[in-house]
Every structure is written in structure tokens, then in C-alpha cells.
Structure 1
């Protein structure tokens, strides 16, 4: 009796060799292997750059009593009690350091969360603000640019003479006054 045996090892080995050769050709033609095409590589230059900044130092205001007949320099605002006819003026100096070739900054005074100033003042009390910006050369400007600048904020708090009795013993929260320094986005012009 004769039996016929098939050599599975040689068929399997041949198939494996064909698959490996095909994969090698694909890799070489795909550029992922050592099949070399010429190329060159170099740096973009030897220089670096950096980002700028906008920082500020906010000074506490100095308060003066401007009430006619009672003018005084340097009053303590936290112990001063307004009566109808009083006028107080507070001045704060803000030092601004702006670095950036195209930086432009506006300064404004707002109430809490951007609300109008004076929205929560007692009846008869008004608050006015003035913002003056001065560049490094001492010139008054409307928009700050690169360099060290000064922003002077003047707050005038007035209590009308004819206010009546409705606003007695009412707190006035001056901490709700914010000075915002906002960069203006560069525009094509």
C-alpha cells in the first residue's frame, strides 16, 4: 500500500516568502523604507521671538474734600460721611507697562461687571469719572502704545444739596468701580 503525503511545510514557506517579498516592494515604493530620494533639511534661521505683555500697577486713590468752604487735602474716605452739598475727589495713578510692536490699549472706568457707573448709588449722590492717559514722553493720548505710560483716574463724588432724607445712612460701595485696560486688536488700515 502506498500513501501519498503532501509537503505542507514547503507550500507554507513559499507562500510566506511571496507575501514578504510583496510587502518589501510596497514599503520601498511607498517611501517608508530605505529607498532614498534626495532631500535637504535646515533651520528657519537662528533668530527667536517672544510674546509681549500688558501689566499695570494700580495705586489706591488719594481723596480730597472739595466742598465749598470746607476744602481739605487728603481725607480718609473710609471714615468720611457725606452730607448734602459735599464734593469729594479721588485721584488714582496707574502705571502701565505695555510691550508689543503693535500693541494699542484703551483705558476705561466701569461699574461692577461692566455696568454703568453710579447705577447703585443712593438717591442724590452722583459719581463722575475722568480718565487721562499720558505716554512715556508726557504727552496726553487717547490710546496707549508700547512703553511705560501713566493713566490718571479722577473720581468726583457729589451729594446734591436738595437730596432730602431718603438717602441717610446709606453705604456707598466704591469697590464696584473698575479701571479696565483693554488691548485693541490690530486692524488692517
Structure 2
């Protein structure tokens, strides 16, 4: 048993409330409790690591067994299930096909935006060079060219989506 001052007593009171009249504390009890908690933590950590490693190993073995079974099949059997020999790894591991569009960096994105802006500018110049009849043939007015080039169909003035109020459906032609 060790005797403690007021500060030590207040710090220990946060761990476990004690009798204020008794300034002698059984430290061995707290040391044992700390050792038990540390042992439990280490055991849990090691158990999780073991399960993770064994789980990954078992998953790897299952995938390899499935691949070996497919590689043992003939090309005709593989064709019957809808894969080719070159697609076995992909089919078993569930990996997606490599996408043609890869992540682009900052400079590539900047270049792509520049090219798009140049194409939009060229389209604008081409449409502005048309006369009103040619624009009407493609369903545009001169005021809608900028909106059409930018692709904002909702901003077009001549969207022709509104139904006429009086359609005269009840009348018959004479």
C-alpha cells in the first residue's frame, strides 16, 4: 500500500471513486487490471490479424481452384458458358474490363477543355455564316445559335414544346 496526496487522489478518483477519508489505495489491484486489459487488447489484435491473413489465404486458394478448373476445360466447354480462355482470370476475380477512359491529369483536362472550346467556337462561326432559311431548316433562329452551341436546350426560345391553346379538334374539315 502506498499513500497519495490530494492531486494523486483526484486523478485516481477519475478512474474509480474512492472513500475520501482513506488515502491508502491498493495500487496492485490497478496494476493487475491494467495488465489484464493490455493482454486482452493484444490477444484481440493478434486474433484479428490471424483471421485476416487466414481469410485472405483461403480466398486466394478458392480463386486459384476455380481458375484451375476453368483452365482444365476445353475451348468448346468454355464457349458454352460464355467465356474465352483469355477471360478466365477476369471472370473468376470479378475484375472489370480495363476502361478506355483513364483518369486524366490536370494538363490533359485543360487541353480537353481547350479543344472543346475551339470546337464550340468553330460551330458558332459556321452557324452564324448560315442565312435565315438554312437556320430554319435545322430548327434554329439566329438568336438561338449561342444556346444551341452550348447545348442548353432548356434556354432555347423556340423549343416548340408548348401545345397550342386552340387546336380546333372538334371541327371537321369541309
Q: Please, what TM-score do these two structures have when normalized by structure 1?
A: 0.25
Q: Please, what TM-score do these two structures have when normalized by structure 2?
A: 0.27
